[in-house]
A and B are shown apart, each in its own frame.
Chain A
Amino acid sequence: MAQNFEHPFQGLQFVQKVSGGPRDVLVASSGAKLYTYSADSGQRLSVWPQDGADTSTANDTGSNPENEGPPEKKRKVDPEETKATAAPAKKKPAAWSHIPILTSTPDGKYVVALTAEDKCIRVFQIEVDGTFLELSSRPMPKRPCSITFMEENEILLGDKFGDVYSMPLIPSAEPRISKAAREHQKRIAATNLTVHTQRNLKSLEMQKQQAAKKAAVKADKAQEDAPAFEHQLLLGHVSLLTDVAFVSLPSPDPSSTRRRGYILSADRDEHIRVSRGPPQAHVIENYCLGHSAFVNSLCIPQWAPEILISGGGDPYLLVWNWTAAQILQKVPLVEETTKAKDVAVRSIWASSFDSGFSNPTRLILVVLEGSPTLLSFTLSSDGTLTTQKPLTTSGNVLNVQPHPTANTLIISVDNIREPGSTQDWRSAPASSQTRLQTFTLKQGGETLEWESVPSALTDNINAAETSTVSAGADKKAQTALNTSLYGLENLRKKTYGDDDAGSVL
């Protein structure tokens, strides 16, 4: 029956010259799985996690929410899990329904993915034949929202709780000796000098009794929420973090050859904070304030590291000289007249293309949540963004990757939902399910223009099945799938009444 959709690709990442081998590989995440494809032919090389030895179809891997519902969100971190080896869990169904973050280190040696429900950061090496070698999996206490890299491939991540951590790409062998583990004597902070009401005094008395009991038992599960692997808290917002970036600039002091690292962190409360890189992440250089809704994406082009382009719940982009917290330009994203719907910037990419001119065309690509249009801008050397002709695809744009060698742009599109909608599903799966499209810049034209081009890579990937989503999925399963791809509107602040109703009656 053709009543099934294929899962769209949520993450895309090219990895160049895998393990020093001769070829480039495209890593993509679709549903609960990761795939590798040859970057030239689109031939599938490997899947992770591998299906069990049994001949179960993709439908039975348990990764499909419409069958069993998504796994429950993990509350407690199981320390055993850190010891997971490269062998994928065969007997158990995957503990996650999708892979929201997929990225690779700047040198392309490692691929880092985040699996959703178990909040595990997984580091892979792609072998020459394209297979995945899982080097580590580290469960985080809170859901990571953004993963990037600092110098020497150190992982930098921001989480839902507002904290930014650094951790080594490859964890050291021995588990961290938890300080909390040593002689963990829980003291009760409150005393009868600090609590006064009868009820509080009574509960304090109870707590004291409890503590006395516990001391006798000797609590050995001292470890609380702290992960057992090496990690360092660098900075924090009291807000949900949405994006984190690391940049280094040459030192203004000519005698110093050491570059200065900066961490830029964006949150749901409109802030972009500029801090120094470790070990001085507690020194805040400035705040880039100017957004009036959540910030979702930070883009610092490699070729212009002093420029920041930020976007989020506002119908505009801001272009910053971020070292001075100065707004250079405010770029509207929608026509002033069409302010019917809230727009949210899903992601911003910087990319350069060979367009036949002597200089490569340097582009800023922006996609709005639930939109089949990829907005393109050129960025001049003085930091001016100029709007160019947008590019329209066959479905909502999910992800964009420039092909490393072919001078094309690979775009992952949503084949399940109607273009322009984050909720409404297409009535029936199209016969050929386009999940990837290839575009290139028209050569020699007066203005910048995109054209769709055929490519073996995308054709072959589109033809091959990944995991399927039943078109007849019920509403609940649909909603779960929708939110796994489109969660941005949840970041918007609700404007219902003040919740300060806690007045004493």
Chain B
Amino acid sequence: MGAPAKRQKREEFRRKVAAATTEPSGDGSASPPGSVLNLPQKKYYRQRAHANPFSDHLLEYPLTPAHMDWSTHFPAYINPNATQMNAAGARRLLKDVEVVDIGCGFGGLLVGLAPVLPDTLMVGMEIRSKVAEYLTNRIHALRHQQQHLLQQTQTSTSSSSTPVPAPAPEPAQQPTTEITDNETPETTFPTTLIPGGYNNITALRANTMKFFPNFFARSQLSKIFICFPDPHFKARKHKARIVSETLNAEYAYALRPGGLLYTITDVEEYHFWILRHFGQQQGPEGSAEDEDANEQEEGGVKELFERLTPEELERDECVRVMMDSTEEGKKVSRNKGNKYVAVFRRKDDPAWPL
């Protein structure tokens, strides 16, 4: 099979999935009983691992956060009052998006977090279009499967019970639908109901380095995740890193005081880079090899963040998910690599100088 045939097959598959996803079934209620969406397969969504964050691409982004149409992303959370419109004339939600995974990749973190924070709206942002498409389809299939399962359990209990949302079995349990990196098409279906039914997660394609403030207003977010960012090893590529003195100011803008910014990487040098750029005087002696070390004076964006202690990390369920559920985290575990975690709390804005 030649490369063109492979590509053709991929495109065909993706078209099929797209058709299945957009069919009027919507939340799966109208689909014929018995037919459950399969999870998409990664092999049809391959894309090279790096994207140039400086190029224009053909991105879609809202004019302002008030223009963002979240209703298509979270249909289960649409405000029932149809007169509630946002600035672009789209239906409003009952609550705001609060958690962002920057560079969500194939979505391991979101899928893992969905039952941990079942009532919090979370969005994954990914610059690679095919990867974002994969995750969108994956979430759609997961929602569909949960819906299906819910219907089954309801009918089996003679359907007299109340139409409550998903009963919550042990929330910490890993969904059985977890995708691992190397395996065969996913044909197994979940047997457990997940709190939230994956209605609280979504994915979209975006370049967060450029357009983060178009999506999120000041202090809108309670958590930002940056998991296994592209390390950009070369010094002249450091401007393309997702963590930098100047971008951190944007994260601080969107993060509410008390909100948390989670980072994890398997590259030790990048870990120290992160610590440096969030204001921790750390790193092995002589590792301050880059020009950004100039900005080491007091003040700067560092005064907006403080690092969480190891005990606080211990207590945080999200840290565990970040360590274990992300695709990259699993890969690092397989290769017996190290994982470096750092979590920072957003402090209040400093007072204006008097």
Give me the interface of A with B, judged by CB distance under 8 Å: 161-163, 179-180, 183-191, 193-194, 196, 224-226, 232-233, 235-239, 251, 253, 256, 258, 260, 269, 271, 273, 275-276, 279-280, 282-284, 286-287, 289-290, 292, 493-495, 497-500, 502-505
A282/B269 contact (C-beta < 8 A), A179-B293, A189-B233, A238-B210 known: no
Q: Give which listed residue, A191, A224, A256, A504, contacts B47 with CB less than 8 A.
A: A504
Q: Which residues of B, 1-51, contact A by the 8 Å Cβ criterion?
A: 3, 6-7, 46-48, 50-51
Tell whether B128 is near chain A: CB-to-CB under 8 Å: yes
Q: Once the chains are docked, how many angstroms separate the CA of A273 from the CA of B287?
A: 33
Contact-residue bracket for chain B: 35 or more
Tell whether B88 is near chain A: CB-to-CB under 8 Å: no
A176 to chain B, nearest CB (A): 9
Cβ contact within 8 Å between B218 and A260? no
Q: Which residues of B, 257-271, contact A by the 8 Å Cβ criterion?
A: 266-270
Apart from the given pairs A191-B267, A226-B294, A258-B353, 15 other A-B contacts in the complex at a CB distance below 8 Å: A180-B291, A194-B337, A224-B290, A225-B291, A233-B295, A238-B209, A273-B213, A280-B299, A280-B352, A280-B353, A282-B300, A282-B304, A498-B57, A498-B58, A503-B47
Q: Give which listed residue, B63, B209, B253, B349, contacts A290 with CB less than 8 A.
A: B63
Closest to A207 in B: B233
Closest to A189 in B: B269
Cβ contact within 8 Å between B209 and A283? no
Determine, out of B74-82, B193-201, B244-252, the stretch whose residues face the partner at the interface: B244-252
A236/B218 contact (C-beta < 8 A), A194-B337, A284-B253, A502-B48 known: no
Q: Give which listed residue, A179, A235, A289, contacts B63 with CB less than 8 A.
A: A289
Tell whether B187 is near chain A: CB-to-CB under 8 Å: no
Q: Once the chains are docked, how many angstroms separate the CA of A253 from the CA of B354?
A: 10
Tell whether B169 is near chain A: CB-to-CB under 8 Å: no
Cβ contact within 8 Å between A283 and B349? yes
Residues of chain B contacted by A493 (CB below 8 angstroms): 56
Residues of chain A contacted by B353 (CB below 8 angstroms): 258, 279-280
Tell whether B239 is near chain A: CB-to-CB under 8 Å: yes
17 contacts between A and B (CB under 8 A): A179-B293, A185-B286, A187-B286, A188-B233, A190-B231, A193-B266, A193-B332, A233-B246, A256-B354, A282-B249, A283-B249, A284-B249, A289-B64, A493-B56, A499-B52, A503-B46, A504-B48
Tell whether B345 is near chain A: CB-to-CB under 8 Å: no
Tell whether B289 is near chain A: CB-to-CB under 8 Å: yes
A193/B335 contact (C-beta < 8 A), A292-B63, A503-B7 known: yes
A195 to chain B, nearest CB (A): 9
Cβ contact within 8 Å between A179 and B218? no
Closest to A504 in B: B46
The digit string for B336-349, where 1 denotes a CB below 8 A from any CB of A, is 11100000000001
Closest to A193 in B: B337
Q: Give which listed residue, A194, A238, A276, contacts B352 with CB less than 8 A.
A: A276
Cβ contact within 8 Å between A236 and B245? yes
Closest to A497 in B: B58
B159 to chain A, nearest CB (A): 47
B20 to chain A, nearest CB (A): 22
Cβ contact within 8 Å between A282 and B252? yes
Report the 4 A-B pairs with minimum CB-CB distance, sorted nearest first: A236-B246, A189-B269, A282-B301, A193-B337
Cβ contact within 8 Å between B288 and A284? no
Q: Once the chains are docked, how many angstroms separate the CA of A279 from the CA of B290?
A: 22
Residues of chain A contacted by B248 (CB below 8 angstroms): 282
Q: Give which listed residue, A184, A235, A269, A500, contacts B289 with CB less than 8 A.
A: A184
Q: Give which listed residue, A184, A280, A289, contacts B214 with CB less than 8 A.
A: A289
Cβ contact within 8 Å between A283 and B231? no
Closest to B272 in A: A189
A230 to chain B, nearest CB (A): 10
Closest to B289 in A: A186
Q: Once the chains are docked, how many angstroms separate the CA of A236 from the CA of B241?
A: 13
Cβ contact within 8 Å between A238 and B233? no
A380 to chain B, nearest CB (A): 26
Q: Once the chains are docked, how many angstroms separate the CA of A499 from the CA of B57?
A: 6
A505/B6 contact (C-beta < 8 A), A185-B289, A233-B246, A500-B51 known: yes
The digit string for B225-250, where 1 denotes a CB below 8 A from any CB of A, is 00000010101000100001111111
Cβ contact within 8 Å between A280 and B269? no
Residues of chain B contacted by A269 (CB below 8 angstroms): 210-211
